[in-house]
Structure 1
Amino acid sequence: MTGLTQGPERAAELLADQAHQALVARLRDGSLSSGMFLSIPMLVERLNRPISAVRDAVKRAEACGLVKVLPKRGVMIMEAGAETTRECLELRAVFDCEGARRLILNSGEIPLAALKEEHEILLEDAHTRLSPDLPRRAIETDLSLHDALSTGLGSKLALRLYGENRNRIAVIQNTRPFLADRIVSSMEEHLRIIAALQARDAEAAFVAIRDHLQHTLRWWGVGA
């Protein structure tokens, strides 16, 4: 009997996982944006998943702070307000500093040469070619360094918490496109972090990460 019940239960879990992945993907690409309200039937249509799986996905997303369930009404996508923005960016900086410290301490390998080249190309393009896809590329490049730093965390719990926060930051980033001048300054800040990592200088890395945080907070209008 146990073997018979595991099949349907496992199938339901897989559907819920797929629904959650679809929900997160739409939050990260901006299809579902900050403050948007959707009924469960609307979300079922958007995600193209069964209603039971969507309900489970919503519960998981709410636990991660990505959505808020409004009883008997529907789902509200997280509000990217000043307090939330500050908290998410400050938490990311904590992960960045710890990831950098461990990578330097443990001689961990990250693709610094590729990261540096990617940032330099985007920096040059922001100076000379304002193509329509520049804001999208800027977000991808921006995240690439933070993701690389997270590889130093090691702990599965820390990596999970970093990933949840990364998703919240994606919702925040989609509320305002990168402007060329911020792309330039952000890439320059990232390159200083990369240089500190290349030099295996933890103190310089911490300073560069905190400097990047302060500039990013000011960009979002929540600086000190």
Structure 2
Amino acid sequence: MGDVQSTKTLKETAYEVIKERIVNGEWSGGTFLSEKALSELLEMSKTPIRSALDRLEMMGLVKLSPKQGVIVQEISLKKILEIYELRLALETFAVRQLTGKLDALFFSRLDANLEAQAAAVQAEDVIKYVHLDRQFHEMIVDSLDNSEFAEAMSRIQDKFIIAVRTTFIKNKKRLWGSLEEHRSIRDALAGNDPLVTEQLIAKHIEFVKMILL
């Protein structure tokens, strides 16, 4: 039982470490990853490494080729725009349902996230801000208490982070605009007009899409 649990833990560790480095941009699209190098880096055998790479391939973050080995996938503009369309549908629906119905605990957590966002913006820490941005949007969708919506949101977020990080790195002033839009969305959620919240979050999502185009 211990060996099974250990193997499972190693697979999860390998998956999380490799995914984190891809999502954070340390290993960008086109980067070659050798199983041997990964095995040495993570200090584990190739078995959990291969399991992690298979899982990452299913997510579209790496491509496994018998001849070339493991290559970090480029996220195409088409794929990024598809992600934005899905986010737009998920989040506009979520805020229509949630506006005026969220409790003090939710806003306490959201406000803590916004304070951390402000600190990241002040420091121009793009990687930190992007993770907090992810949490902000996931907290909203999670509040629907709908596991299918939460799973769909989680599934697209890793690829979304790659797109958003690139946008912020190219234009760090956008960090301030994004933060202010988050604050406006927060206030609208506390109000009683779902249409206002829907319009704000749609504009927020569409802005980044417009930059990418």
- What is the TM-score with the length of structure 1 in the denominator? 0.78
The 5 A counterparts of 1:9-88 are: 9-88=4-83
Query: How many pairs align?
Result: 212
Q: 2:183 aligns with which of 172, 180, 191?
A: 191
Cα root mean square deviation, aligned: 2.9
> Which one-letter code corresponds to 1:52 in the other structure?
T
CA contact (8 A) 1:19 1:54 kept: yes
Whole-angstrom CA distance in 2 between matches of 1:173 and 1:37: 23
Moved more, 148-157 or 203-212: 148-157
Q: How does the TM-score come out when normalised to structure 2? A: 0.81
Q: Does the CA contact (< 8 Å) of 1:93 and 1:213 recur in 2?
A: yes
Q: Are the structure 2 counterparts of residues 117 and 56 from structure 1 closer, same or farther at C-alpha, using a change threshold of 3 Å? A: closer
- Specify whether residues 105 and 185 from structure 1 end up closer, same or farther in structure 2 by C-alpha distance, changes over 3 A only: closer
Can you give the 5+ residue segments of structure 1 that lack an aligned partner in the other structure? 1-5
Q: Which runs of structure 2 are paired with 1:21-170 in the superposition (5 Å)? A: 21-104=16-99, 107=102, 111-113=106-108, 115-116=110-111, 119=114, 131=123, 133-170=124-161
Change in Cα spacing, 1:136 to 1:14, as seen in structure 2 (3 Å) is closer
Aligned counterparts of 2:195 and 2:24: Cα–Cα separation in 1: 35
Match of 1:182 among 174, 178, 190: 174
Letter in 2 for 1:64: M
CA distance in 2, matches of 1:117, 1:213: 22
SS in 1 for 2:173: helix
**Identical pairs, percent:** 23
